[in-house]
């Protein structure tokens, strides 16, 4: 399930044994990002899968319009997401799943936290080789930053107010310094996704070819459409090709390769994945992954 294995929680009910992955130190030691997850659906459906996403960008210098090379102060950026998923097959063709996620973002002393949900369904169209998935991601409550933000400004001392709200949102106790304590709410980036795949060569034990398409409709951006193909040889080597329409950054196809590694320890399966992506302004991106199945 290359297409919706990433975003439809309904795919969990397809029957993982038990998988654990933990990745850290991404980005040449500049940013520490990680993912930890555990799923055991087939062996124990009553134990829901869980996961965590920690992100720590470390200490960064504070810059302003007047001091672009730094003020001598430092600030940090940290993200955390904790989630719990429940997935269940209703028939051998239809599954559903729900994920509850607590998210927390901390930047420059401001903390925003909220509760979000993912909902997804998965449907296999008999023995035709066609599979479909629908998902809604990041559906939940608005969040409001809390804390105190001090920043330099050019204005006289006194309170600051919104044009349509008499409530004070900031004060300037002295010229050149503004203290903000009230902030606008942030709406979660809810996204609707629809995916379809068709598997060719289903009866061939050595070869397998899957064609995929995905429609992405976010509430804060334009729609995009992805197409891709995945070829697998002997359940060992996988090659992937994809293209994204509707995004200016993507002018070239994306490439990927996967390799199932021999068992290093009895009962532990490992898979290595590599992806290549070239962006118009950000340049080339290399993705490396290691998946362990227990």
Q: What is the 3-state secondary structure (H, E, C) of 4-67?
A: CCCCCHHHHHHCCCCEEEEECCCCCCCCEECEEEEECCCCCCCCCCEEEEEEEEEEEECCCCCC
Lowest mean pLDDT among 12-26, 171-185, 241-255: 12-26
Examine the domain organization and report whether 142 and 246 are in the same domain. Answer: yes
- Tabulate helix, strand, coil % of the chain (nearest 5): 0, 60, 35
Q: Cβ contacts of residue 190 below 8 Å, gap of 6+?
A: 136, 137, 138, 139, 218, 219
Question: What pTM was computed for the model?
Answer: 0.70
The angle at the Cα of 172, spanning 166 to 178, to the nearest 5 degrees, equals 100
**What is the arithmetic mean of pLDDT over 76-92?**
87
pLDDT given for residue 21 in this prediction: 41
pLDDT value at 16 more than 50:
no
Kindly state the average pLDDT of the residues 277-292: 87
Q: Mark whether 50 and 141 lie in a shared domain.
A: yes
On whether both 167 and 194 belong to a single domain, the answer is: no
Report helix, strand or coil for 72. Answer: coil
Asked, for residue 270, whether it belongs to a domain, the answer is yes
- Domain range spanning residue 84? 9-62+72-146+183-293
* φ/ψ (deg, to 5) at 86: -130, 125
> What's the pLDDT at 218?
94
Residue 154 lies in a domain: yes
Average pLDDT estimate for 156-175: 55
Quick one: DSSP state of residue 160? E
In a domain, 4, yes or no: no
Residue 83 and residue 151 in one domain: no
Q: What is the average per-residue pLDDT within 171-178? A: 65
Under 8 Å CB-to-CB from 46, ≥6 apart: which residues?
none
Sheet containing 165-174: which strands, arranged edge to edge?
149-152, 177-180, 165-174, 158-162
Whether residue 245 has pLDDT greater than 50: yes
My answer on whether 43 and 173 are in the same domain is no
DSSP at 164: T
Higher pLDDT pick, 154 / 229? 229
Model pLDDT, residue 149:
81
Residues 196 and 153 in one domain: no
- My answer on whether 120 and 193 are in the same domain is yes
What mean pLDDT is predicted for residues 206-235?
93
By DSSP bridging, strand 74-89 and strand 237-245 are unpaired
Nearest one of 250, 125, 127, 98 to 196, comparing CA atoms? 125
Q: Is the pLDDT of residue 284 over 80?
A: yes
Residue 9: its pLDDT value, please?
57
How many domains, the chain? Answer: 2
């Amino acid at each position: 399930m290359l297409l919706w294995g990433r975003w439809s929680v309904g795919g969990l009910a397809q029957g993982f044994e038990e998988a654990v992955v933990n990745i850290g130190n991404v980005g040449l030691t500049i940013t520490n990002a990680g993912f930890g997850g555990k799923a055991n659906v087939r062996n124990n459906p009553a134990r829901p899968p869980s996961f965590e996403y920690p992100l720590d960008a470390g200490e960064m210098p504070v810059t302003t319009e007047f001091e672009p090379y730094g003020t001598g102060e430092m600030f940090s950026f940290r993200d955390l997401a904790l989630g719990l998923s429940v997935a269940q097959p209703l028939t051998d063709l239809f599954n559903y799943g729900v994920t509850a996620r607590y998210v927390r973002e901390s930047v420059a002393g401001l903390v925003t936290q909220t509760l979000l949900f993912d909902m997804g369904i998965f449907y296999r169209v008999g023995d035709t080789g066609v599979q479909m998935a629908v998902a809604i991601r990041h559906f939940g409550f608005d969040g409001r930053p809390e804390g105190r933000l001090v920043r330099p400004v050019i204005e006289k001392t006194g309170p600051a107010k919104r044009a349509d709200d008499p409530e004070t949102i900031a004060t300037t106790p002295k010229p050149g310094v503004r203290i903000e304590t009230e902030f606008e709410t942030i709406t979660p980036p809810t996204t609707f996704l629809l995916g379809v795949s068709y598997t060719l060569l289903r009866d061939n034990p050595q070869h397998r070819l899957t064609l995929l398409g995905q429609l992405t409709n976010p509430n804060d951006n334009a729609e995009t459409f992805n197409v891709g193909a995945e070829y697998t040889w002997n359940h060992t080597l996988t090659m992937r090709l994809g293209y994204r329409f509707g995004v200016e950054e993507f002018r070239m196809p994306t490439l990927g390769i996967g390799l199932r590694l021999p068992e290093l320890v009895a009962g532990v399966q490992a898979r290595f994945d590599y992806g290549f992506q070239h962006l118009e302004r950000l340049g080339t991106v290399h993705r490396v992954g290691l998946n362990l199945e227990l």
